[in-house]
Homo-oligomer: A and B are copies of this chain.
């Protein structure tokens, strides 16, 4: 059992617990117990509860964004890339509800800066922004601020995700995927 193993276990336990009771109700004692570690050990790896929450968020966000990138570079068109990215996020989220909830809770809480979403260092924005800008340059995507189109794209993704949580069978339903693709295209393609 090396050092990284414990850090990992604490993070996992935290994400588990936060999923069940929310960001602020999970106590360090409970997290330590879940991680099979002493309370004090938590403070060897994280300087405060606040920092542990942050670390848990960033771990989830990193995993999420990583999973979303799968296979994108093998696709040529911008719209195609975005359609694929959407499929990635939906499939990943359904298998990782705890991490998604962690992201959403942190996102909507005042812990996260009031400032500009798009300009904040979220990992998700940059890659999508690049794809959209390329699409605009090639005339594949309408010429509007890429931050606006990016938000629309993420909005549709979140919506699709909300839907499959209720209707998991949608993953096998070609109509669902068609609706996703048509929505992305409908928002982004020039008229």
Contact = CB atoms under 8 A, between A and B. Distances in A.
B108 A175 contact: no
A185 B186 CA distance: 7
Interface string A78-89: 000000000000
Contacts of A155: 155-160, 162
Interface on chain A toward B: helix, strand, loop, or mixed SS?
helix
A70 to B, nearest CB: 22
Nearest to A156: B155
Tell me the number of copies of this protein.
Answer: 2
Contacts of A21: 110
Interface range, A side: 35 or more
Nearest to A190: B182
Given A22-B110, A154-B162, 20 more contacts: A22-B23, A22-B111, A23-B24, A101-B108, A105-B108, A105-B109, A108-B108, A119-B166, A145-B167, A149-B179, A151-B160, A152-B179, A154-B159, A155-B156, A155-B158, A156-B187, A182-B187, A186-B186, A186-B189, A187-B187
Interface string A91-108: 000000000010011011
Contacts of A176: 148
A146 to B, nearest CB: 11
